[in-house]
Amino acid sequence: MRTIHQTSEAGMRTRRAPAAARRITRAVLAALVTSAAATTGAPAVLHAQAQQSTMSAQTTTAPAPARSGHIQANGVSYYYQVYGQGEPVLLLHGGLGQIEMFGPVLRMLARGRQVIGVDLHGHGRTRLGSRPINLVDQGDDMATIVRELGFAQVDVMGYSMGAGVAFQFGARHPEMVRRLVLVSGSYAQDGFYPEMLPQQAMVSGAMAEQMKDTPMYQSYRAVAPDPAEFPLLLDRMGDYIRAPFDWSADVPKLTMPVMLVYGDGDMFRPEHVIRFYQMLGGGLKDAGWGRETMSRNRLAILPDLTHYEIFSAPVLATTVLPFLNGQSGAQSWAEQVQPTN
């Protein structure tokens, strides 16, 4: 693995750029991790630079996989790694990331689970090829990968772009998904705060040079088969981001238990988050004294977290594991109060 440097000539040029140009760069970079159906990045160049060492550490200190390799699916040779032992959980990263971006969350899941990490199309060690980036297609690809690895059914957890892929995997192959966790995901483009949409529309390969000092490029360069493809990856991501999407009709196809997880500073409007949960059957009525009308689906809003941090926050692992394991730590008042003699 190549050494990741903290500075570059390109980064120096970016920092010397006029203030107006820097503002444009920040706005565009903010779009790069912006979609459950599109990307994952950092809200600003300065924020990205501050996270460089964290991303580098996550990439280099991930647990050693028990096995790894490539699996062909619809013309794409996907790279995968399997960690740990136990019930299988498919773990899908965000845009411009790779398997290791989950950092401590990956390590915590692998302590009691068999974690299947996949580098998504054009990301990490998976080459871009000639196929357009499309999350519906990648949802089908995940089904192929899971079958090739010998699993009939797995739990699935995806973040941002990975949440979009996980959504489509669950909607199109529900029999293969036991439980589904969508972290910072959306079912429609109007879930974003409106000011983010024009920022997303600016994503293209033209920004590649300005991104040389960001964790997105640095982690990509460390593992990609051909780092020179980075501008083309940005072009493909931009093409996908600019295409409107609305998966409302697919939400009822998620017939397995679903958990939605967001940060309280996430990029999605709270109204959209609540509507997503209601479409899944949650938040429609009081659960009842004995939880008799409690939805089997869950919603978690984690405090003090944004879209750009939640994927590696240890609290994410402790939040989702009880759900993935089919457990509940809740105890009723009646159970807490012991009768006295």
Helix (H) or strand (E) holding 49: helix 45-60
Three-state DSSP class for residue 92? strand
Three-state DSSP class for residue 274? helix
Task: Work out whether the CA dihedral 7, 8, 9, 10 comes out positive or negative.
Answer: negative
Token pair belonging to 227? 């780092």
The span from the CA of 72 to the CA of 301, in Å, is: 36
Q: Is the CB of residue 109 less than 8 Å from the CB of residue 87? A: no
| pLDDT mean values, one per 10 residues, the chain (341 residues) | 32 38 45 39 33 42 87 98 98 96 97 98 97 97 98 98 98 98 97 92 94 93 96 96 96 98 97 98 93 94 97 98 91 76 59
C-alpha distance from residue 174 to each of 56, 99, 154, 169 (Å)? 36, 23, 10, 7
The span from the CA of 302 to the CA of 59, in Å, is: 24
Three-state DSSP class for residue 4? coil
Burial zone of 91 (CB within 10 Å; 0-12 exposed, 13-18 middle, 19+ buried): buried
pLDDT at 50: 35
Q: Is the CB of residue 4 less than 8 Å from the CB of residue 11? A: no
Q: Is the CB of residue 76 less than 8 Å from the CB of residue 126? A: yes
pLDDT at 205: 96
pLDDT at 35: 35
Write the DSSP assignment of 56-73 as a string of letters: HHHHHSSPPPSEEEEEEE
Write the DSSP assignment of 148-206 as a string of letters: HTT-S-EEEEEETHHHHHHHHHHHH-GGGEEEEEEES--SBGGGB-TTHHHHHTT-SGG
Burial zone of 24 (CB within 10 Å; 0-12 exposed, 13-18 middle, 19+ buried): middle
Q: Domains (ranges, CATH) in the chain?
A: 9-284+294-325 (3.40.50.1820)
Closest CA to 31 of 189, 200, 178: 200
